[in-house]
Structure 1
Amino acid sequence: MTNLLELRNVSKVYTRGLTHSNPTIALRETSLTLKDDEPTILTVAGESGSGKTTLAMLLLGFIDPTVGEILYKGRNIRSLTGSERMAYRREVQAVFQDPFAVFNPFYTVDHLLTVPIRRFKLAKSKTEARDRMEEALTAVGLRPEDVLGRFPHQLSGGQRQRINVARALLLRPRLLIADEPVSMVDASLRANILETLRNLQRDYGVSIIYITHDLTTAYHIAKSIVVLYRGGVMEAGDVDSVIKSPQHPYTQLLVDSIPWPNLDQRWGEHAIIARESGLHDPGACPFMPRCPKAMDICRNRPPLFQITPHQAAACYLHDKLPSVDAERLSELLPA
């Protein structure tokens, strides 16, 4: 069966000026596969500048990879034309970080929802369009009578973000790119939105790529996780194993920053070394300048080493274990 989505050795490099000097590698040699018949939730985690949003922009077709290819149902998304590109735009949807920026303050909620219905010809009448809107709003935990006809400033941040999810759901997507969807929402509402995303995956068969810097929400929503740093995969695997037993020093630092509800557990048990100035050696481990366990061998970029059947880390601390080709990364990720 054809895979839903494939990233094949994708890299994105930005350069400056006509001479293409000082290249910045935003994403490096990343391969991922989502199966068509196994809807799942995959978290892509990392701090700011790790390449998470670049990955989202590539998947949505907003930017093109420098190297590699992205396939949707077996077709390179750069070669899609006409009805195929329209179908891709409908089936791959996004929910972005800021629930305030995506609304035009001069239009009501109804307008936000009727535009995709009209553009993709999802209803034959105004009555059918209204029914579709109400169904989508109900699916994300909103009462249609509370939000339809209202302007954005009359809604809370949590309501706006769930309306964004409802807008995506209207189109019956196969894949949802959720880029930091709860980072600007009150903590009391985050659980509701995360539960909404889980319901989409379970009830509607939508695969979700959940992009975040917050490992606590990643732990609660996802089945598998990929940890990025400076565009490269540092660790990947089952989310329970990666967060409870991180094997890469970078992941350990991320987990150490989580405010666990345990008075006996101290923050900052792992030292964080300040980032070195100057250009980083592209042939070395990208985390080497900050790593408390750096060794001379780290001057060579490490491959992924398979620690368990569902966990791998790109660190020479595990060089006695077998390495994993980047193309096989998805085999470590549980569906």
Structure 2
Amino acid sequence: MTTEDVPLLAGEHLTRVFGRGRDAVRAVDDVSLALRPGEITTVVGESGSGKSTLARLLLRLLTPTAGRLLLDGRDVTRTSDTTAYWRDVQAVFQDPFSAFNQFFTVRRLMARARRLLGPDLTDARVAEALEQVGLRPGDVLGRYPHQLSGGQRQRVMIARALLVRPRVLIADEATSMLDASLRATILNVLTDLRAETGLAILFITHDIGQACYVSDRVLVMRSGRVVESGPTDEVIFAPTHEYTRRLLADVPRLHG
């Protein structure tokens, strides 16, 4: 395998079991995936399918029961330096309002990245990150989260992730709390970032329609397992698994 063939981030046979004995639950069961520069990979499935547990494994917020996590082809599954890892792999979560300290201005929220960036976190870098997601720094830096719209809060969360110039962005249900127009705005931000920066993006959603809109590749999860995967057009327009076809039945416009 050449250097060009090695994905930025890969999971090999990732498994996470909660509980023991008869009470054991395989939240993620033998899942493999590869995230490559400039590609958006979408994991889609209903609530309880294991999507968010998979995201936490890839973010090293959970340790796999079995399987490996590889960054640039190196096994980092159980290495101790998570700070270095999080410079490369950043997250955007579902609810920025609960993720942010409501008593901090955007300026102070952004400054919390100093633990990863140290003196490299400059005012110019903060402004650059906000502009990357379509926000004017002067309009938002002095505001508190409750003074922002839902779309602005989500874009601030993306900008905070971008401060460290990560190579991988994991967006876990990043649009699920937004209305349709704001969802489209955030999806466009992600696709623009992919094109402009070469980020590898993992987009997690229960909405297979959004997968069609943004992704290069799709993985369909059910009960902790990947039941179908491949290039987006193949999975969306020629599904082979009954579960995928059932998800698509809720999005009739894709078949019109």
Q: TM-score, normalised by structure 2?
A: 0.93
Give per-residue Cα distances to partners, 1:3-49, cap 9 Å, x unaligned. Answer: 32221111111115xxx3322111111112234xx431000000011
Higher normalized helix content (fraction of residues): 2
**8 Å contact 2:35–2:201 — kept in the other structure?**
no
Q: Does 1:239 align with 2:232?
A: yes
User: 1:5 matched to which residue of 2?
Assistant: 9
Contact 1:122 1:129 (8 Å CA) reproduced: no
Instruction: Please give the TM-score of this superposition, normalised by the length of structure 1.
Output: 0.72
Once the 2 structures are TM-superposed, how far is the Cα of residue 122 of structure 1 from its aligned partner?
5.1
What's the secondary structure of 1:39's corresponding residue? coil
Q: Select the structure of larger CA radius of gyration.
A: 1
Rounded to whole Å, the distance in 1 between the matches of 2:68 and 2:42 is: 21
Partner of 1:101: 98
Tell me what 1:24 maps to: 25
Alignment of 1:175-324 (within 5 A): 175-258=168-251, 260=253
Matched, 1:142 2:142: no
Q: What secondary structure sits across from 2:96 in the alignment?
A: coil
Q: Which consecutive residues of structure 2, in runs of 5 or more, have no partner in the other structure?
A: none
Contact 2:92 2:169 in 1 (8 A): yes
**Conservation of the 8 A alpha-carbon contact between 1:158 and 1:186:** no
Contact 1:94–1:168, Cα closer than 8 Å, also in 2: yes
Residue 91 of structure 1 pairs with residue 84 of structure 2: no
Residue in 2 that maps onto 1:62: 61
Could you report, residue by residue, the CA deviation over 1:82-137 in whole angstroms, capped at 9, with x for unpaired residues? Answer: 4xx32211110000111211111111000111110x2123545xxx7111111111
CA distance in structure 2 between the aligned counterparts of 1:52 and 1:79, rounded to whole angstroms: 21
Task: Give yes or no for contact 2:87–2:164 (8 Å, CA) kept in 1.
Answer: yes
Cα deviation 1:164-203 (Å, max 9, x = unaligned) = 0000111100100000111101211111111111111111
Contact 1:99 1:184 in 2 (8 A): no
Instruction: Answer yes or no: is 1:15 the counterpart of 2:19.
Output: yes
**Correspondence for 2:152:** 159
**How many Å separate the matches in 2 of 1:122 and 1:40?**
29
Counterpart of 1:317 in structure 2 is none
The count of aligned residue pairs is 252
1:119 and 2:119 are equivalent in the alignment: no
Comparing both chains, which one has the higher relative contact order based on Cα–Cα distances under 8 Å and sequence gaps of 6 or more? 2
SS in 2 for 1:70: strand
Shift of 1:81: 3.1
Q: CA RMSD in A?
A: 1.8
Unpaired runs of 5+ residues, structure 1, are: 266-335
Percent of paired sites with the same residue: 48
| Cα distance, 1:80 vs structure 2 | 2.2
SS in structure 2 opposite 1:105? Answer: coil
Q: Offset of 1:261 from its aligned partner?
A: 8.7
SS in 2 for 1:112: helix
Structure 1 pair 108/244, CA: closer, same or farther in 2 (3 Å)? same
